[in-house]
Structure 1
Amino acid sequence: MTIIEDLKWRYATKKFDPTKTISDEDFETLKSAMQLTASSYGLQPYKILNIEDKALRTKLRAASWNQPQIEEASHMIVLAHMTDFGDELVDDYFKNVIETRNLNKEDVSDYANTVKSTIGQFSKEQKANWTAKQAYIVVGNLLAAAAQLKIDACPMEGFQNEEYNKILDLNSKNLNAAVVVTLGYRSEADATQHHKKVRKSEQQLFINF
């Protein structure tokens, strides 16, 4: 039941203690949790941006409706998904498969072609929507891992997407900022931590067939 207690403990932290910093060891654990996140076909069509530069975070705060979490949190993660892709996305993945599992190209060619034919039919808009969904899976894993480490987090969509893309030069990299997660330790002054968690009941949420 530990994971359930951890998830009950976590909340979207609105005010972080800027004097507290996540240890390198714990942050490496969070990075591993993000790296190990499941994705469709295992393709991971996104980049995980760790924003360390203080001046950059100041600019991003201005593009985030001046929310203090951007600067006060120990760490800031931006999930940026690919806006378009071709066969190279699949080719790069299966090259990794071949090297990691010591296989021959012929061993994976049929499956690789199936994947290409499936996602290759997507329009550019469908590709962008699909890759954004994959990025959000990372957020879920990150929040759960952070809770287990008793690290506070705040997933954030409240930012000016186009401004983020300009500040981080994402358009030139075929990327789009999808969601932000700030990480650190809650401030004693954050009243939100004392609010009761509100969720739909199991009867309202689940449907059995």
Structure 2
Amino acid sequence: MKIIVIGASGTVGKAVAAELAQRHEIIAVGSKSGQFQADMSDIVQVRALFAQTGKVDAVVVAAGTLHFGPLSDFTPAQFQVGLNSKLMGQVNVALVAQQHLNDGGSITLTSGIVGDQPIRNGVGASMVNAAVEGFARGAAIELPRGLRINVVNATVLEESLDSYGPYFHGFEAAPASRVALAYSRSVEGAQTGQVYRVW
């Protein structure tokens, strides 16, 4: 298969690319690195990306920015960070990918554990992660040509504990290599409308 991995230079993206590259051709995409560059919050750039890559068999998104902070200080602009990037960025990819995936192809998006298990300062992430999953469930029943869409919902990564550990006391971390298996299951399996939790 020919697979686009958006966010391929990030911790999860690298692990996903390494897992899938054992069996498939990977097209690495980043906002500033990779074979191709695109800001997924800009649908014009997403369209240009797919115009360059041509037809593919799967698209994985392991990217998206969120703002963390206390609800009492949160502003609409700070909520908009996650809405523009992690939510609408992934929605943009899914909207454009429909026309560029081969029959039976798949889209795999990324949410996160705080959509189900909230943390302090994580209200923006909880909102966006839940919305990503809602979008995928709704899209799954409408995609044509046997196209599939799933979401990977992971806990905090072992590799990210130095940065994010203080937010996640009491949570069991997972290595990126284990999280990557859920993306493999989405891409190489047959299910659609699923949320694969790695907790």
Q: TM-score, normalised by structure 2?
A: 0.31
Higher helix share: 1
Structure with bigger gyration radius: 1
